[in-house]
């Protein structure tokens, strides 16, 4: 039998909507104040100088400048270097 007679099996057979997480602006790219740099769950990346965390751990640019990813003492930071 190729079909399901009762429709009970299909109820738990759905995928959730993807959340589109990840890095949105990479190192060396220009960011304007308020731009989303990283969408994440938890503190995978931390906000450095020129950046701040939103309430869902999203990192935003606080100032205009160039995005830079830095690792210090095993922790990953996102900083914004002011533009010329």
Domains of the chain: 22-82 (2.40.50.100)
- pLDDT tens-digit readout, 59-78: 999 999 999 999 999 999 99
Q: State the average pLDDT for the chain.
A: 90
- DSSP, collapsed to helix, strand or coil, labels residue 61 as strand
pLDDT of residue 24: 97
pLDDT of residue 2: 67
- pTM reported for the whole predicted model: 0.80
Query: For residue 25, is pLDDT > 80?
Result: yes
Query: For residue 18, is pLDDT > 70?
Result: yes
Sign, CA dihedral 22-25-28-32, equals negative
């Amino acid at each position: 039998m190729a079909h399901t007679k009762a429709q009970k099996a299909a109820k738990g057979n759905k995928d959730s909507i993807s959340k589109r997480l990840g890095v949105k602006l990479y190192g060396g790219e220009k960011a304007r104040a308020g731009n989303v740099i990283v969408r994440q769950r938890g503190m995978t990346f931390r906000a450095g100088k020129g950046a701040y965390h939103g309430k869902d751990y999203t990192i935003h640019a606080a100032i205009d400048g160039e995005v830079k990813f830095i690792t210090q003492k095993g922790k990953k930071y996102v900083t914004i270097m002011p533009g010329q």
